[in-house]
Amino acid sequence: MFASPLLAADAVLPTPAKIPRTADGKPDFSGIWQTTGGADFDLTPHQGRKDSPPGLGIVEGGEIPYTPAALDKKKKNFAARETDDPRLKCWTLGTPRGIYYPEPFQIFQRKQDVTLYFEFGYSVRTIHTDGTLHPVDTDQEFWLGDSRGHWEGDTLVVDVRDFNDLTWLSRAGDFHDEALHIVEHWKLLDANTIDYKATLEDPNVYSRPWNIEVILYRHREPNFQLIENYCYTLDYDKYYPFPQE
């Protein structure tokens, strides 16, 4: 065996992918995104079920560290998932479920905020990147949490707090309560791919913080757009403008 200059160690490092940037040099997440995986079915590894394909899961370490009482509740949720999943009422998916739900969302980006516009329920989440802090009133119980973000190099780090307890994390009945706190890391791997990582903690539900990671892909079909989906009106929209005979 002989050494060749072509096999020198630093010759195999990939060059960083070119990513779109805003006028002030920040990575530009603008666009319409969606995950291809089945994380919404179940965050943890599972074989196929009648109502779910199998999945490798997106939880680091494979298990969500529920407390014993919380695990009981998760199992009850799972057993009742066909009726109790709040997505069936088209209630706002919450954070982070909206991000890995199998329906696109659009990111609009300005210097002062990054706006996530979810097609499901047409709900809007604002990540404030203007240096402001979480509100002094910490009890507003938002569906999507209050999101304050800042840049660390090319990563958008977002602190999310102040939730209600009405959303699930997946169809398998994974849940949280009002004390949920999330730290997200958003990073463009290349112009068409986002690496999304989040650490979730909730001392009332989990015995320690735990991490998830999903990859989001840019929708590149020609003329792709969100289509308004106010699905929570479907139970009653037949009465308007008036019932058709």
Partner 1 sequence: MSMTEQALMKLRCGLLACTVALAPAATALAQDAAAGARSSAAAPSSAPSQQRGAGPGIGYERTVPVITSGPWTGKRLPDGQPDISGDWSNTIANHNNTTDPQGGIPGDPHERPPRTTREQRAPSRVTDPADGQLPYLPWARAKQIEFAKGFFDASKPEYLEPLARCAPAGIPKSFYWHGYEIRQYPGYIVFLFNSGARIIHLNNPKHLSPDIKLWQGDSRGHWEGNTLVVDVGNLNSKARFGRTAEFTTENVHVVERFIFDGSNQRYNYVATFTDPAAFSRPFTITVPARRWTVADKTNEWHYEVPLANNPGKPPIGDHLERICVENNGGFGRLPAAPATVPTAAPDPAARPTAAR
Binding residues (CB under 8 A) for partner 1: these are 23, 30, 88-92, 106, 108-110, 113, 115, 117, 122-126, 128, 130-137, 140-144, 146, 164, 166, 223, 225-228, 230, 232-237, 239-243
- Alpha carbons 169 and 80: distance in angstroms, whole number: 15
Judge whether 176 and 155 are in contact, CB under 8 Å: no
Sign of CA dihedral 220, 226, 231, 232: positive
Shortest Å, Cβ 159 to partner 1: 13
Q: Which is nearer to partner 1, 46 or 219 (CB)?
A: 219
CB of 90 to partner 1, least distance (A): 7
Considering beta carbons, is residue 191 or 215 the nearer one to partner 1? 191
Q: Which residues contact 92 (CB under 8 A, 6 or more apart)?
A: 98, 118, 121, 123, 143, 144, 167
Shortest separation between residue 60's beta carbon and partner 1, angstroms: 28
Note whether 59 and 209 are within 8 A (CB): no
Q: How far is the CB of 88 from partner 1 (least distance, A)?
A: 8
Residues near 58 by beta carbon (within 8 Å), at least 6 away in sequence: 37, 39, 43, 100, 212, 213, 214
Partnered with residue 126 across adjacent β-strands are 115
Taking only Cα atoms into account, the Rg of the chain, rounded to an integer number of angstroms, comes to 20
C-beta of 59 vs 160, nearer to partner 1: 160
> Rounded to the nearest whole angstrom, what is the least distance from the CB of residue 245 to partner 1 in the complex?
12
CB of 183 to partner 1, least distance (A): 18
Residue number with CB closer to partner 1 (126 or 155)? 126
Residue number with CB closer to partner 1 (60 or 235)? 235
Cβ distance to partner 1 smaller for residue 52 or 126 = 126
- CB 159, CB 64: distance < 8 Å: no
